[in-house]
Structure 1
Amino acid sequence: MSVTAPDAGLSTVWDVGLDDAPVALSAQGDLVAVAGAEGTCSVLDLATGERTHSVDLPGGALHAALSPDAGHVAATGPTGYALWSRHDGGTTVRETGAWSSVARWADTERVAVGSGRRALVLTTDGEELWATEPAASTVTDLAWMRGGRRLAVAAYGAVRCHERHQTAPVRTYPYLGSHLTLAVAPTGRWICSGNQDASIHIWRTRDAGELTMSGYPEKVARLAFDDTGFWLAADGAPDVTVWDFSGKGPAGTAPRSLRCHESVTALAWRPASGGHLATGGDDGTIALWRATAGRPEARLRPARTLDGDAAVAALAWAGPHLLIGAHRDGRVRAYRLPSRTTL
């Protein structure tokens, strides 16, 4: 690997190779979970990169999520899901035969799993607490709201919100199309979906006011709010677009544009960073950005780029100082940024 920008304190902490091509990353506490395409979910020590445990999910993996206390891993895949406990090393595997797209933790005790056309809310032992009624098609993404008291479920035609233990939705946000990804502002003020029809659809939660941002050249498969809830990053083009959600929101405004990759494959906001964003591309490049600098319609340049040998599969921050990057050739690297203000 080569660092193509002048060094400003960034260093590689560890660099490991895995036998299964990574498709997703999660970092919490002192652990990193890496989901592999063939179904191996590797649990790595954050300090060293050493693999301490692995979870095998028959049929392959799509997603992995560590619980907030790093005590459990939920892994999902085309044929079911698995839960791993750090306390006793036990793994519970459910081969449901249903496409399980994603897992999202509400807290240290409850995890929601997309399972076919339903969302299942489970305990850490895999006990089903409740499930949503079937959606029109396969659940594609989930997001917890109101401190884990409400679950947003994305599937074809709508985002539906469920209160705890309520199978029927208490609020429905319709949009005729296939939702690929979901982002909810930390404030709870906005729900956004990235869509197969190359658009972002936005709902204002207090009154269900709607806005569609269309015209992307490609489907929008990745969305992420920063910690403030004022900035939304999206793919859907060679440029990453960054929309300003402060004030009355993005209606009538233009985004900032970040161009470094031919095709964007990952993006992740630095925690509590004041606008620092990491993006990855199919060319293996990881770019670090001051993504909220400049004015609307500005085209920004990366503050730093890191070159890898294979496409970037996923990015995750482990606090504000460690960035984890996984490449499709099995390489997983941790980079240290010693200052909150340094990129």
Structure 2
Amino acid sequence: MSLTAADQALSIAWEITVDDAPVALSARGDLVAVAGAEGTVLVLDAAMGAEMGALELPGGALKVELSPAAVNLAVTGPMGYALWRRSDGRVHVRESGAWASSAAWADDERVAVASGRVAVVRDADGGELWRTERAASTVSDLAWLRQGRRLAVAAYGAVRGHERHTPQPVVTYPYVGSHLALAVAPTGKWICSGNQDASIHIWRTRDGSELTMSGYPEKVSRLAFDDTGRWLAADGAPDLTVWDFSGKGPAGTAPRQLRCHETITALAWRPGSGGHLASGGHNGTVALWYATAGQPANRLRPVRVLDDADSPVAAVAWAGPHLLVTAYRDGRVRAHTVPSRAEL
């Protein structure tokens, strides 16, 4: 599909520059949070880009995560993590000295943080509620299932499921390898890990049956389900792959392939069930896709490309269905207004 420059134009809602190199974005409710490599975290009004709060995480930042209603925030980094409370701007910093890879909110009052070889569950004020037993290696990612009643924790050799206040796992999904990213279907039916050995491993939570999709040319470090739980997007190659998890899952099927970037640096599904995906590349390109169009094994092209940046894309996030926020490594954070599917 060929598009002219005029076709590509999307209105810019706002743009700011932060005094740090962005590494992560989170968008929930009416807020957007951007975290920088040196530990600077800004909380912005999604509609206007105005600063609503700020904090610093000693040792730098890796990821940032707003709670579902955007009333609290967690930021993780190589030396610890911090919690921010919107109501009064209170910041609780935990300099544990342990690699904190990620955080996940069960709801607005409980957050799980990967901290070295354990996952620690804390309340919004920073109080510890419980923690998992030590894993064999550093926890690389975690996610909640069953509306925050079960925590999936990924570390070398397995993904383990913990019920609330149970340090020992109640279920173990083994896989001999290093997990880099974890994605849980919103339905709770599937757990997927992107791995150092250039594969995606899948478990069906109901019976523990498993499947490996191997053969990726590069490690798989980014995974995301859409809101329906049917579609899984992954990196691991110059092409993005999109797998169909309907029915019995992707066994025996081929993914849709989305080609635009030489190196993928970010991906995020648009809220809703329209099958829209945004991706970012090292060359500064942001692409918008009808990612579920066509048939399996189809190679798709983007429907829009935003290539007016000369800095690598660090992260993309949707602040609702009509606002796409992009962070670039040079410090720019830009929000584009995106039309509906009929106009896209």
Are the counterparts in 1 of residues 228 and 273 from structure 2 also a CA contact under 8 Å?
A: no
Which whole-Å CA distance do the structure 2 matches of 1:145 and 1:263 have between them? 31
Aligned CA-pair RMSD: 1.2
Fraction of identical pairs, as percent: 73
Structure 2 match to 1:322:
323
Structure 2 match to 1:313:
314
Structure 1 match to 2:79:
79
Structure 2 match to 1:175:
175
Structure 2 match to 1:278:
278
Task: Report Cα offsets for 1:265-284 as digits up to 9, x if no partner.
Answer: 00000011411000000000
- Change in Cα spacing, 1:137 to 1:339, as seen in structure 2 (3 Å) is same
Task: Report Cα offsets for 1:278-297 as digits up to 9, x if no partner.
Answer: 00000000000000101111
Q: CA deviation at 1:341?
A: 3.9
Structure 2 match to 1:24:
24
- Change in Cα spacing, 1:302 to 1:170, as seen in structure 2 (3 Å) is same
Are the counterparts in 1 of residues 8 and 305 from structure 2 also a CA contact under 8 Å?
A: no
Which whole-Å CA distance do the structure 1 matches of 2:268 and 2:125 have between them? 30
Aligned letter for 1:321? H
Which whole-Å CA distance do the structure 1 matches of 2:86 and 2:203 have between them? 38
Counterparts of residues 73-222 of structure 1 (less than 5 Å): 73-222=73-222
Are the counterparts in 2 of residues 5 and 305 from structure 1 also a CA contact under 8 Å?
A: no
Are the counterparts in 2 of residues 81 and 95 from structure 1 also a CA contact under 8 Å?
A: yes
Structure 2 match to 1:66:
66
Which whole-Å CA distance do the structure 1 matches of 2:70 and 2:31 have between them? 6
Which whole-Å CA distance do the structure 2 matches of 1:93 and 1:63 have between them? 15
Which whole-Å CA distance do the structure 2 matches of 1:19 and 1:36 have between them? 8
Are the counterparts in 2 of residues 9 and 337 from structure 1 also a CA contact under 8 Å?
A: no
- Change in Cα spacing, 1:4 to 1:132, as seen in structure 2 (3 Å) is farther
Matched, 1:298 2:294: no
Q: Any stretches of 5+ residues in structure 2 without a counterpart?
A: none
Structure 2 match to 1:236:
236
Are the counterparts in 2 of residues 321 and 340 from structure 1 also a CA contact under 8 Å?
A: no
Matched, 1:33 2:33: yes
How many residue pairs were aligned? 341
Matched, 1:268 2:268: yes
Q: CA deviation at 1:4?
A: 6.0
Q: CA deviation at 1:153?
A: 0.3
Which whole-Å CA distance do the structure 2 matches of 1:182 and 1:4 have between them? 38
Aligned partner of residue 7 in structure 2, secondary structure:
coil
- Change in Cα spacing, 1:324 to 1:202, as seen in structure 2 (3 Å) is same
TM-score normalised to the size of structure 2? Answer: 0.97
Q: CA deviation at 1:31?
A: 1.0
Q: CA deviation at 1:9?
A: 7.4
Structure 2 match to 1:332:
333
Q: CA deviation at 1:73?
A: 1.1
Aligned partner of residue 7 in structure 1, secondary structure:
helix
- Change in Cα spacing, 1:4 to 1:57, as seen in structure 2 (3 Å) is farther
TM-score normalised to the size of structure 1? Answer: 0.97
Q: Any stretches of 5+ residues in structure 1 without a counterpart?
A: none
Are the counterparts in 2 of residues 273 and 341 from structure 1 also a CA contact under 8 Å?
A: no
The runs of at least 4 consecutive aligned structure 1 residues that moved more than 6 Å come to none
Aligned letter for 2:44? L
Counterparts of residues 250-261 of structure 1 (less than 5 Å): 250-261=250-261
Which whole-Å CA distance do the structure 2 matches of 1:81 and 1:46 have between them? 24
